[in-house]
Chain A
Amino acid sequence: MLFRKVMVANRGEIAVRILRSLRELGIRSAAIFSDADREALHVAHADEAYRVGPGPSAESYLHIERVVGAAKKSGAEAIHPGYGFLSENPEFAAACEAEKIAFIGPGPEAMRIMGNKVAARRRMVERGVPVIPGAGTPLRDAKDAREQGRAIGFPVLLKAAAGGGGKGMRIVREEAAIESALERTRSEAEKAFGDGTIFLEKYIESPRHIEVQILADRHGNVLHLGERECSVQRRFQKVIEESPSPVVDEKLRQALGRKAVEAARAVGYLSAGTVEFVMGKDRAFYFLEMNTRLQVEHPITEAVTGIDLVREQVRIAAGETLARAQESIVFRGHAIEFRIYAEDPAHGFLPSAGKIRRLNNPSGPGIRNDSGIYAGYEVPILYDPLLAKLVVWAEDRPHCIARARRALGEYAIKGIRHNIPFHLWALKHERFRSGDYDTHFIDETFHPEMLQPKEWARDVARIAAAIRAHLDRDRIVVEEGPARGPWKWVARREGLRGDS
């Protein structure tokens, strides 16, 4: 017996997406909302909705007591956390359990282990899942660095323990350079972070971010649903994802899948999860981390496998057995997801909140649009800039790219700036088209000037703006007094148009 009522503890496109599966399952749904989200789409899609607090997420979507309180009030038997917010918070999962509300996701213990990079790495090493060589113990001195470097093979990466986001790192290409590099990295780390602890690990050239979707039930069954290529990233944020990866063949897929299943088994994982790997040019892959939740890019896996991951998560949480065996999972066609962000790519990806004045969603063959917006909706400044996800499916990659260009061309979001011009640019780029890209793709190839329009487009824009100004000027006159001049012309033309 599945649940009678499930609460979705999230907002935006992911809340809408989960509500859809609940409705298909015949389960009553409850949403939560902050004061900034009373008019949000997810509230309108749910059967019930409960206020959890003021706009800032710390006082609403991240407030465990209020979210659990709302679930109790609604009588929900289970909570789906979506992604972000409380989705990977073991305290939240434990708080749900304490109230006898099923948490649709893994248990708190698996979440805790995978949430701790050192513990996760140790567990993976024990179970034979490959991790990036090195990184085990801090470097003692230059001699230690030379020895470790020689053992792993150059190039290596020196990494400050307290660093992050690309800071406090140095690539060393040969043994002779390691001593001075260590000195500099250490002194920089001491100055910047007050901690001179340095690790050494293998440097992965042209790294690709490849992740494997897994599903695990309470009865010991663990499946993998193939890989997703997520190397188009900006500031460690994924922008475009595709499945299958252009560089993964069937043999490699099976190898990745086996290791991902092993990683999930290593922590007694339950529900849907993602094992992230970094892959070098030589196609050797290493465990990075496991995301213990549904991911933003899950629809591309749904597109190529035909499996509704949210539906599976709900069934697993209710104690049901996975309906399929690994051999019966068939990968069909190619899917690409484009994250539609409220960011202006022509101006350094500056965030752009405001009112959606007009919205034209793409549709047609092979198109899925998971969205949290509607025409007239005011995009709040408080939350993530993700507006929607365009998921494009076709029988092969070239057709998928062509279809994506068509669909992105149909997409119109008026009133705010968004990154669709960036997606159109990426789809034209040779490195993307050939599949020969890595996580440095955007940094190495994109500059905002590339979105500068061509001369003819500038002229079209000038003409359009002048015509609009010309006609608008007269529109005001019309509203104030008798029609004259160009307005007559517009009226006549519109009349003609009506006749045709």
Chain B
Amino acid sequence: MRYYAEFGGEKKAIDIEETETGLRVLLDGVAREVDAAFLADRLYLSLLVGGRQHTVETERGDVPGRWVVRVQGQYLDVDVRTELEEIAGTRREEEGTGGRFVVRSPMPGLVIKVSAKLGAAVAPGDPIAVVEAMKMQNELPAERAGRIVEVHVRPGDRVDARSPIATIEGTE
């Protein structure tokens, strides 16, 4: 079974085959000696790659197909697609289509200010809203130029991670 795992803009093909003795894993066509076992109710994955042991945490990310992997103390967001998804091009567009871009809250918090005005033109970096979490205020900027076509929140609203804040329609 072939998968495509993308991290930091770099995609690699991973073939996973089951054999009588374990797993056969090919990374971009190159065979890797891999042994995997779940620990603690599937919360950790003990991976032996070429004999080297890695205790890896894997959990579902905030969008379908995304996995948050903790390896060597660092968190990595890896997008995994099956071959079928890759061929069908059913790339999960996170931010909608048709030149629309949704500004999302990067974390759960409380909306304390909304600068985005319906119909107003914005440039990249223009403030859209301020979300407060854990006594820190974070200004969310417009990531693209365009016009505000929807404002999803009001001051005082509680938002979750990835909640939509405003929708921008591109001007290009």
List residues of A whose CB falls within 8 A of some B CB. 342, 344, 346-347, 350-354, 357-358, 381-385, 408-409, 412, 414-415, 417, 420-421, 424, 451-453, 457-470, 473, 485-486, 489-490, 493-494, 497
Contacts and interface: CB of A to CB of B under 8 A. Distances in A.
Contacts of B36: 467
A367 B132 CA distance: 34
B19 to A, nearest CB: 9
Interface of B: 1, 3, 5, 7-8, 10, 12, 14, 16, 18, 22-23, 25, 27, 32, 34, 36-38, 40, 43, 45, 47, 49, 54, 56-59, 65, 67, 69-76, 78, 80, 82, 106-110, 132-136, 138, 158, 161
Interface of B is mostly: strand
Most buried by B among A352, A468, A497: A468
Given A467-B16, A470-B1, A493-B22, A354 B71 contact: no
Contacts of A490: 38
Contacts of B58: 464-465, 468
B116 to A, nearest CB: 20
Most buried by B among A357, A417, A470: A470
Contacts of B40: 358
Contacts of A467: 16, 23, 25, 34, 36, 45, 47
A421 B75 contact: yes
Given A464-B71, A469-B80, 7 more contacts: A342-B134, A417-B75, A453-B74, A453-B76, A464-B54, A470-B16, A485-B18
Nearest to A473: B82
A350 B74 contact: no
A458 B36 CA distance: 17
Contacts of B1: 470
Nearest to B106: A350
A466 B5 contact: yes
A462 B71 contact: no
Most buried by B among A346, A357, A451, A493: A493
Nearest to B76: A461
Contacts of A458: 7-8, 10, 76
A381 B105 CA distance: 13
Given A351-B134, A354-B161, A462-B27, A453 B59 contact: no
A463 B76 CA distance: 12
Nearest to A342: B134
6 contacts: A459-B27, A459-B49, A461-B56, A464-B71, A465-B69, A469-B82
A381 B59 contact: no
Contacts of B8: 452, 458
Nearest to B18: A489
Nearest to A381: B133
A384 B37 contact: no
Contacts of B43: 357-358, 414
Nearest to A411: B73
